[in-house]
Copies of this chain bind each other. A is one copy, B any other.
Amino acid sequence: MTTTKRGRGRRPADEVRAGVLEAAGRLLLSEGVQAITFDRVAKEAGSSKMTLYKWWPTPGALAAEAYFASSQPVLEFPDTGDLRADLITQLRSFVHWLTGAGRTVSELIGAAQLDDELARAWKESYAVPRREFARVRLAAAREQGQLAEDADLHIIIDQLWGACYHRVLVLKVPLEDSIVERLVDQTLHGVAPVSRRPSG
């Protein structure tokens, strides 16, 4: 695929691909998932529609990958060595992202519930890779003795990010970043009564 383009003296494939994802991400966040058609994105990115067809099986697959690419810089996982602080930083960014990108996120996840192809793309291009970033950070913390050895890292991820999605997708109540600190502390230290907590 890419050699043809290089042979014709065009931009390298990587650059074209990044440009398409950038244009698709911009469209997605400003106009929502229904704006992501091959036609519209090709126009916006100054690429040929054929190129898009070659790289993405469906507009949904393109939307999911564009969503991952746009969120990636915002959702970086810090590692300062202090797990609590890093979780708070990352979850605050996540809450801002979720509330800022607002409708786009819920529409994209909503559409994924009704469309198997989009669900697969969303899972493979966004949800599972992002979970892996979190798991790696938590595994490092466990290695450094900041988490119990038998802590289930995937469940921690479900408790933290799942809690935020729960408000947005299921409860449909406002999600505010003021919950983040409490969410992290309850997840790390539990909610058992004080008498059953460590004294030191």
Tell me the A residues contacting B by CB distance below 8 Å: 106-107, 109-114, 119-120, 122-123, 127-128, 131, 145-149, 151-152, 155-159, 161-167, 169-173, 179, 182-183, 186-194, 196-199
Contacts and interface: CB of A to CB of B under 8 A. Distances in A.
Tallying the copies of this chain within the complex gives 2
A190 B151 CA distance: 9
A159 B187 contact: yes
Contacts of A166: 157-158, 161-162, 165-166
Nearest to A146: B193
A127 B198 contact: no
A199 to B, nearest CB: 8
A87 to B, nearest CB: 11
Given A155-B182, A165-B169, A197 B198 contact: yes
Contact of A191 (B107, B120, B148): B148
